[in-house]
Amino acid sequence: MLQKLLNGLAIGSVYSIFALGYTLVFSILRVINFAHGAVFTVGAYLTWALTGPQVGANGALANSQLPVALPFWLAAVLGALGAGLLGVLIERAAFRPLRRRGSDPLLTLVSSLGVAIALVNVIQYLVGAENYSLGTLGGSVSIAGATIRRTQVAVFIVSMIMVVALTWLMNGSRTGAALRAVSEDAVTAQLLGINVDRLIWVSFFLSGFLGGLAGTLIGMSVGIAGPYFGIAFGLKGLAVIVLGGLGDIPGAVVAGLLIGVAEAFVPGEYSAYKEAVAFVVLFLVLLVRPQGLLGRVQIQKV
């Protein structure tokens, strides 16, 4: 029982931190950034690249030794920062031009999808599709009779630190207040003298940073399983942010943990259906509480 709960929380914390980046952008722009899964992947690969590894047998850089060899923690921070910058670049390339024209918000689904396809294939083009390992933190610890892997504890702790930091940023800083203002009502925020473009920029940076860090954390726990390894999280992340209430930051955290736990409690003989749990939950939640778990009913303005 406790074992399942811990397993669920460990994977759930990953869903949460992944979904945070998604939901942050949604809260500001009301669009889904499909490139988030790719940013997550890039974050993991950047960290890996900065630890000075040997590239595998495929891709344009096959068999070369990468020049920069930093300690893991520094590489992880720089990797996340790099992913943050990538987030900003994506905003400039795929979101801003469309926003300026006042295009259909749906179009950003496709423009960000294009970025995702390109990024994943750039990785593959450069370093091939092989598995790479990231960091070494083996073994497990026992908590009240339940066993849990050390990396999972580390992932859980870092995720929760990130959640707390983000919550503080949103609720305790000027930037956070401005972000919340924009997410409530962008037009009014602009009238109040808030530089909306700058805040969008900030939210993409934060989103990319969190996504990249999540990629590194997962990579540390399970290795980097090729350029597509963030995509699976992308889909599940959608379920998480809806369950949490689109754009709702605490909601996303709770929802991520809940879906993780729900999956962990699927009985062994039905483990084949585990993959569908998140989506059955998503479907049911949408029908019963479309505003999400913690959300309040939004009144549609006409």
Partner 1 sequence: MRHTARRTAAVAATALFLVGCAGEEKKTGDTGGGGASGDPIKIGVAVAKTSNVALLGQEQVIGAEIAEKFFNDKGGVNGRKIDVIIQDTAGDENGAINAFNALIRSEVVGIVGPTLSQQAFAADPVAEAAKVPVLGPSNTAAGIPQIGKYIARVSSPVSVVAPAAVKQALKDNPDIKKVAVAFAQNDAFASSETKTFQQAVQTEKLELVTVQTFQTTDTDFTSQATAINAKAPDLVIVSGLASDGGNLVKQLRELGYKGALIGGNGLNTTNVFPVCGKHCDGILIAQAYNPGYDNPVNKEFVTAYEAQQKKKPPQFSAQAFAGVQVFVEALAAMDTKEKLSGMKLPDLRDKLNAQIIAGQYTTPLGPISFDPEGEVKQAEFWVARIKMGADGKAGEFTIVP
Partner 2 sequence: MLDALRSYDALLLQMVVAALLALSLYLPMMAGQLSLASPGFYALGGYTAATMSKGVFAPPADGSFPVSALLLEMLAAGLLSAALAVVVGALALRLSGIYFALATIAFVEILRVLSLNLNITGKAIGIFGIPQPFGDKLSYMWVALPLLIGVMLFVRRLERSRVGRSLLAVREDQLAAASMGIDLTRTKVLAFTLGGTLAGVVGALDAHVLNTWNARQGTFDRSILLLAFVLIGGTRTYLGPVAGGLALTYLPEWLRSRAEAGVLPSWVSTFIDEGRFIIFGVLLTVGCIFFPRGLITPDLLKRGRRFGRRKQQPRPDVTPDASPGTPVTRGADA
Question: By CB under 8 A, how many residues form the interface with partner 2?
Answer: 50
CB closer to partner 1 out of 243 and 277: 277
Is residue 149 within the footprint of partner 1 (CB under 8 A)?
A: yes
By CB under 8 A, the residues from 30 to 49 that bind partner 2 are: 30-32, 34
Is residue 154 within the footprint of partner 1 (CB under 8 A)?
A: no
Angstrom distances, CA of residue 256 to CA of 182, 192, 216, 278: 25, 34, 18, 10
CA atoms within 13 A on the CB side of 224: 31
Strand ranges in the chain using DSSP code E only, listed in sequence order: 131-132, 140-143, 146-149, 224-225
From candidates 103, 133, 171, 195, binder to partner 1 by CB under 8 A: 133
Nearest by Cα to 212 from 167, 247, 162? 162
Is residue 122 within the footprint of partner 1 (CB under 8 A)?
A: no
What minimum distance in Å lies between the beta carbon of 144 and partner 2? 33
Nearest by Cα to 278 from 269, 287, 288, 266? 266
CB closer to partner 2 out of 45 and 156: 45
Determine the Cα–Cα distance for residues 69 and 79; give it in Å rounded to an integer: 13
Determine the Cα–Cα distance for residues 276 and 208; give it in Å rounded to an integer: 27
**Helix (H), strand (E) at residue 80:** helix 72-90
Backbone angles phi, psi at 39, to 5 degrees: -65, -45
Binding partner of 114, given partner 2, partner 1, none, CB within 5-8 angstroms per partner class = partner 2
Is residue 179 within the footprint of partner 2 (CB under 8 A)?
A: no
- Which pair of structure tokens corresponds to residue 36? 């988030």
- Site residues, partner 2 (CB under 8 A): 30-32, 34, 93-94, 97-98, 101-122, 125, 186, 235, 238-239, 242, 246, 272-273, 275-276, 279-280, 282-283, 286-287, 290, 300, 302
- Site residues, partner 1 (CB under 8 A): 3-4, 7-8, 10-11, 14, 57-58, 63, 121, 124, 128-133, 136, 138-140, 147-152, 218, 221-223, 225-226, 228-229, 231-232, 263-264, 266, 268, 271-272, 274-275
